[in-house]
């Protein structure tokens, strides 16, 4: 997870308030400013701040309406919001909190209290992101887990069929891994699995490519907008790089070192097209790679 500075957007029509808040927050955060409700929405969409400090009373659009609009857009729906207001009435505060604001600060504010509240909310944002990240990650290999893969596979499948794009999927399985575990021990097996996972992750070239742990010692690689020739090239480079790790595997029938077999398939399949059919085509290609002697790539053409 990146440790870059968190972003705070301050939306207030009063220039002095903006300056006071900005000077408080600038040493610790990236501070963005907006003078109107419209500007607040536009900057929130463009910069996706971690926190929005939102004045309730602005001439063009009140803070409640800004918050409503941000919540209605999935891209900005989860931005944390603190209302800043001169209205200290409990019903105003309740209205803001009901709309989903995290907090409510009344003017004139105390600098120390503002800083403390901002820090608390931003820590919650950081922790939530970390939890989301961990929920999507396999603990042993640090690759995406199967649940994450399933989500991405579904959405990439939709995208590929909507735009008639090509898409490649490959399944990777370590050869004779049972024998490896039996001979070298399970902890050594775990280390080998991590090493293979690193190779797969390093082979991902584009931001939308993803390597995930699909099952025990099986990885899956998804390469959107990638044709069979490119997919095959990536798979072959992974197979080669794993063999080059030169991890001894005395019990393998395929090679004296640890190797992988990879099966792949690419859209369009030329027959019944479905997310499941593409995956099954890659799975049968993997089966044939195993049958043909392992340590090889088989691509369904």
Ligand X SMILES: Nc1nc2c(ncn2[C@@H]2O[C@H](COP(=O)(O)OP(=O)(O)OP(=O)(O)O)[C@@H](O)[C@H]2O)c(=O)[nH]1
Specify the residue, 159 or 198, whose C-beta has the smaller distance to ligand X. Answer: 198
Under rule CB under 6 A, residue 193 binds ligand X: yes
Does the footprint of ligand X cover residue 190 (CB under 6 A)? yes
Residue 253 CB, nearest distance to ligand X (Å)?
8
Q: Which is nearer to ligand X, 12 or 217 (CB)?
A: 217
Q: Please say if 217 is a catalytic residue.
A: yes
Active-site choice (42, 217, 236, 291)? 217
**Interacting residue with ligand X among 52, 96, 217, 262 (CB under 6 A):** 217
Q: Is 181 in the site for ligand X (CB under 6 A)?
A: yes
Q: Which span sits near ligand X by CB under 6 A: 46-54, 76-84, 130-138, 181-189?
A: 181-189
Residue 138 found at the interface with ligand X (CB under 6 A): no
| C-alpha separations of 110 from 53, 80, 107 in Å | 15, 21, 8
| Identity of the residue, 193 or 220, whose beta carbon is nearer to ligand X in the bound complex | 193
* 189 forms part of the interface with ligand X (CB under 6 A): yes
The count of residues interacting with ligand X (CB under 6 A) is 17
Q: How many whole angstroms separate alpha carbon 277 and alpha carbon 273?
A: 6
Closest approach of Cβ 28 to ligand X, in Å? Answer: 41
**Complex with ligand X: residue 30 or 195, whichever CB lies closer:** 195
C-beta of 73 vs 250, nearer to ligand X: 250
Segment contacting ligand X (CB under 6 A): 33-41, 75-83, 169-177, 266-274? 169-177
Using the rule CB under 6 A, give the single segment among 11-19, 102-110, 151-159, 188-196 that binds ligand X: 188-196
Catalytic residues: 217
Residues forming the site for ligand X (CB under 6 A): 140, 173-179, 181, 186, 189-190, 193, 216-217, 290, 294
């Amino acid at each position: 997870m990146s440790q870059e500075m968190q972003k705070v957007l301050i939306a207030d029509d009063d220039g002095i308030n903006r300056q006071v808040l900005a000077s408080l927050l600038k040493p610790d955060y990236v501070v963005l400013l907006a003078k109107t409700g419209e500007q607040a929405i536009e900057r929130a969409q463009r910069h996706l701040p971690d926190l929005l400090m939102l004045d309730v009373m602005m001439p063009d659009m009140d803070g409640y309406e800004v918050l409503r609009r941000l919540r209605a857009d999935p891209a900005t729906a989860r931005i944390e919001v603190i209302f800043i207001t001169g209205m200290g009435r409990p019903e105003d505060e309740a209205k803001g909190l009901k709309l989903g604001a995290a907090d409510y600060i009344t003017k004139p504010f105390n600098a120390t209290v503002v800083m403390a509240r901002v820090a608390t909310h931003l820590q919650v944002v950081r922790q939530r992101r970390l939890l989301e990240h961990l929920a999507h990650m396999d603990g042993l290999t640090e690759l995406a887990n199967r649940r994450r893969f399933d989500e991405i596979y579904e959405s990439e499948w939709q995208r590929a069929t909507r735009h008639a794009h090509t898409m490649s999927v490959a399944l990777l399985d370590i050869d004779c891994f049972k024998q490896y575990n039996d001979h070298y021990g399970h902890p050594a097996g775990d280390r080998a699995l991590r090493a293979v996972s690193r190779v797969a992750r390093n082979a991902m070239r584009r931001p939308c490519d993803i390597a995930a742990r699909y099952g025990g010692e099986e990885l899956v690689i998804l390469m959107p907008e990638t044709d069979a020739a490119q997919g095959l090239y990536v798979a072959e480079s992974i197979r080669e790089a794993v063999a080059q790790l030169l991890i001894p595997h005395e019990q393998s029938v395929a090679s004296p070192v640890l190797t992988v077999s990879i099966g792949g398939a690419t859209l369009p399949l030329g027959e019944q097209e479905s997310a499941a059919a593409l995956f099954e085509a890659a799975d049968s290609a993997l089966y044939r790679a195993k049958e043909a002697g392992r340590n090889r790539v088989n691509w369904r053409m």
